[in-house]
Structure formats: structure tokens, C-alpha cells
Amino acid sequence: MTKFEEMDIDPRILRSLNEMGYTEAFPIQEKVQAPFMSGIDLIGQAKTGSGKTAAFGLPLLHLVNPSQREVQALILAPTRELAVQITKEIEKLAKYTGTKAVTIYGGQSINVQIDALLRRPHIVVGTPGRVIDLIKRRSLNLSKVRYVVLDEADRMLDMGFIDDIEFILEATPGRRQMSLFSATMPREILDLARRYMSNPQKILISADEPSVEELDQYYTVVDDGSKQDRLVEILKSERPSSAIVFCRTKIGAHRLARDLEKRYFNVVPLHGDLSQYQRDASMNAFRAGQVEILVATDVAARGIDVPGVQLVVNYDFPDDPLVYFHRVGRTARAGSSGKSISIIQPDDFPNFYRAQHLTKTIIKPLTPLDEQKALHPNTRRQQSSFIRYGGSRPYRRTGYQHAWQSYRRR
């Protein structure tokens, strides 16, 4: 890794990097700097926790002109919590440059944000819904934007967001640089992305980067109905000082948080049915280390960086292998170590093997008994779901069967 001092970095930014304790550039940061500064479109992919925020934040701060009081850069992110986190990182980096960033997101009073925009920030970080709102109200003028960044880009370009993104891009000038960042970049999304970019350069970091090796991934098999007891056992034996437990639904997360509280765990919920005030309170308490356990839906799956998270539990196993990958990436960040434990029920096996295969990782049994249960899928439901998936989804079939076989070989 190269020291920031040896790179072409503004001394004022070097000073804040120093204060933040960043001395060496992470690989993605080093590789992105020059192409980003040259103004070309680019796609940066590097593992979770490998410093992608500063990878776009640093060149942006060099490119944005503080004396020009207009929105020059727009950064879009999928969740409010992530948008806030990105702004904070940029504000720290920009401490001595005079560059101002504001966050635009749903849930917070729109008037507060209109006021913030009247103070003419240089950088806007936002979630798509509220950004569109403010464009329509003519409070947000993007006509001078020169840089657009999509963080968690594959999520931003998927079905849920793509129309919003198109609308926003139309409010920006035709000639602007666009860059995409994510740990995952599925083929079909990459193809789609080309529509909005001209000749993007791809910067992929795979090996020699700090996060993956330090993540220990486990699974444990439970019968239907005994998940919560298993979770409690896990929390009691692991005694994490900081853990995130992922649930599939908002109501599920809410109930689980309440149940754990009744069992004397120090927990807070985080999901989309809470008010923004409650969401902020949960996030702040968790970040500050006042509570050990965050029970969350996938609003916390992407991008959220809480240093020191020791354990991620998949209480409900995700359908989408990419979601698995992003969830477990909330731990073992920036070179520190971490552990994930997935609680799987018989029905989850197809998804489990797909996650294992797609992310090319080894998920180890937590105990020998778990291994036995996984090797002898003798419940009827488990076998029927095996066949259902194997038969009806041809493109996944090979992946699934391969994972299954390689698993057996071990």
C-alpha cells in the first residue's frame, strides 16, 4: 500500500487524513485517484469494508471548487443511514478545504433540507426519493453538477431504483462524469450501466485487499420453530460486544428485538417501519456502543460501516446470494476480523448453497452436528425444495449442484 503522503494529495486533505488516522491508501483508493481525476467515467469494485467511500470522496474533494457555490457533485445511496454516513466521511475529509456537503433523505423535515440547500453546498449526498422531491420543488438545482457517484451502484440500478435514477440523471447536464462503486457488480447491471456512461473504465480489486480473509463464516442448522432459542444460545456463547442480527421482514425484526429484550439482551431494532427519529436513535446507540445488538432488516445490509462489529447473524437466511454477501460484509471491515453465523432451516438449503457458491466462500459448520444435518438432508421438505430449485431455475441449477457436490467432497 502507498502512503497518502506519497500521492498527489492536497496538503489540507492530507491534514484531515492524518487526523482520521488514515496513513496508507487502501488499494481501491490508490487505483481510483488518477482515473477519477482525469474525468473519465468509471466503475470501481472492491470488497466490503475496503474504503470505497474515500476512494470517490478524495478525488471529488480535489475536483470540486469551493469558491463556486453550486452543487457540483451528487452522490446517491440506497438508504438514509448510508447517505448520512457518506456525508460524515466527506465532511471529515473536507475539514480544511471549505467544501460543504449536505444530506438529502426521506424522513427528515423537508424544510430543514431546503434551508440546508439555500446555504449552497458543493456536494449533495442523497437517497433518490427525496432528491426527486426537491428537484420537483425546485429547491435542488443539479444543472451545474459535474460529478455523479452511485454508491452501492448495483442496488441503485436494479429494478427498485432505476426509474428514479433516470429521472435524477436527466436533471443533470449531459456532460458529466459518472462513477459507480460497489462490492458486487452483476453482469446484467454492468450492461445496463453502460447506457448511462461513456466508455467506463473498470477498476477491480480482487486479491491483496484487506477484508475477506479475516471473515470466518459459519452455519448452524435448526428445525422449524427453534430459531430463537438457537440465536439466544449463540449470543450467550459468543458474547459479542457488537453484533448485527438480520431478519427478512420489518415486523420480524421488530418482534425479534422485543423478544430479545424480554430475555435481557441489550438490543435496538432498525427497519423501515420506524420513524426516522427512532432509526437515528437506534443507529446512534449502536454506533456509540451503548447497545450490543442491532436487529435489522436489509436496510442495514449495504454500506453501513460500524467499526468493531464482531458478529453478523443471519436469523432469516436471504434469498439473494448478493444480500448474503453484503450482510456478512458488515463485519471484518478495513482489515479487522469478524464472524458470521447463518441460522438455517431445512427450507433454506437451496439459498444457502447458492450463496456459498456465488460468493465462492466456505461457510463452515458451527458444530459437527450441524455438518451432519447438512450432509444428510433427510427431511422431506428439504429434499423437495432441492428438487424444486434444481428443476425450475436452469441457470442456477449448475451452481447449486456444483456447490452441493463440492460441499460433499470436503
User: Which residue ranges make up the site for ligand ADP (CB under 6 A)?
Assistant: 22, 24-26, 29, 46, 48-54, 305, 307, 333-334
Q: Min. distance of Cβ 325 from ligand ADP in angstroms?
A: 12
Closer Cβ to ligand ADP, 272 or 307, answer by number: 307
Return the C-alpha cell found at 209: 485487499
Amino acid, single-letter form, for residue 301? A
For Mg ion, the closer CB: 235 or 306: 306
Minimum Å gap between C-beta 57 and Mg ion is 10
Looking at 46-54, 70-78, 119-127, 279-287, which segment touches Mg ion (CB under 5 A)?
46-54
* Nearer to Mg ion among residue 50 and residue 72 (C-beta): 50
Q: Which of 312, 46, 336, 42 is nearest to 178 (CA)?
A: 42
Q: How far is the CB of 305 from ligand ADP (least distance, A)?
A: 4
Helix (H) or strand (E) holding 182: strand 177-182
* 52/354 with CB nearer Mg ion: 52
- The residue among 41 and 152 lying less far from ligand ADP, judged by its C-beta, is 152
Residue pair 119/68 in contact (Cβ under 8 Å)? The answer is no
Closest separation between CB of residue 300 and ligand ADP, Å? Answer: 13
- 78/303 with CB nearer Mg ion: 303
Residue closer to ligand ADP by CB (options 149, 221) is 149
Of residues 52 and 327, the one with the C-beta less far from ligand ADP: 52
Residue nearest to Mg ion (CB): 303
Of 208, 83, 229, 238, give the one whose Cα is nearest residue 150. Answer: 83
Q: How far is the CB of 152 from ligand ADP (least distance, A)?
A: 9
At residue 136, φ and ψ (nearest 5 deg) are: -65, -35
Q: Which residues contact 243 (CB under 8 A, 6 or more apart)?
A: 235, 292, 293, 294, 309, 310, 311, 312, 313
Q: How many residues would you count in the chain? A: 410
219 binds, among Mg ion, ligand ADP, none (CB under 5 to 8 A by kind): none
From the list ligand ADP, Mg ion, none, partner contacted by residue 22 (C-beta under 5 to 8 A by kind): ligand ADP
Residue 50 interacts with which of Mg ion, ligand ADP, none, CB < 5 to 8 Å by class: ligand ADP
Give the residue with the Cβ less far from ligand ADP, 50 or 331. Answer: 50
Identity of the amino acid at 398: T
CB of 145 to ligand ADP, least distance (A): 22
Q: Which of 31, 47, 52, 146 binds Mg ion (CB under 5 A)?
A: 52
Q: How far is the CB of 52 from Mg ion (least distance, A)?
A: 5
Least Cβ distance, residue 56 to ligand ADP (angstroms)? 9
Virtual torsion, Cα 86, 182, 44, 198, nearest 10 deg: -100
| Piece of 35-43, 48-56, 138-146, 328-336 that binds Mg ion (CB under 5 A) | 48-56
Find which of ligand ADP, Mg ion, none residue 26 binds, CB within 5 to 8 Å per kind: ligand ADP
Binding flags for Mg ion, 295-334, as an x/- string (CB under 5 A): --------x-------------------------------
Q: What is the 3-state secondary structure (H, E, C) of 36-97?
A: HHHCCCEEEECCCCCCHHHHHHHHHHHHCCCCCCCCCEEEECCCHHHHHHHHHHHHHHCCCC
CA–CA separation, 335 and 214 (whole Å): 7
User: 402 and 357 in contact (C-beta within 8 Å)?
Assistant: yes
CA 5 to CA 57: how far, in whole Å? 17
CB of residue 221 to Mg ion, shortest distance in Å: 32
Q: Which is nearer to ligand ADP, 279 or 330 (CB)?
A: 330
Q: Would you tell me how many other CB atoms lie within 10 Å of the CB of residue 57?
A: 26
Question: Minimum distance between the CB of residue 24 and ligand ADP, rounded to whole angstroms?
Answer: 6
- Binder of residue 318, out of Mg ion, ligand ADP, none (CB less than 5 to 8 A by kind): none
Helix (H) or strand (E) holding 210: none
Question: For residue 81, is it left (φ>0), alpha (ψ between -120 and 50) or beta?
Answer: alpha
Query: Which residues have a Cβ under 8 Å from the Cβ of 17 and sit 6 or more positions away?
Result: 4, 9, 23, 93
* Residue ranges that bind Mg ion, judged by CB under 5 A: 52, 303
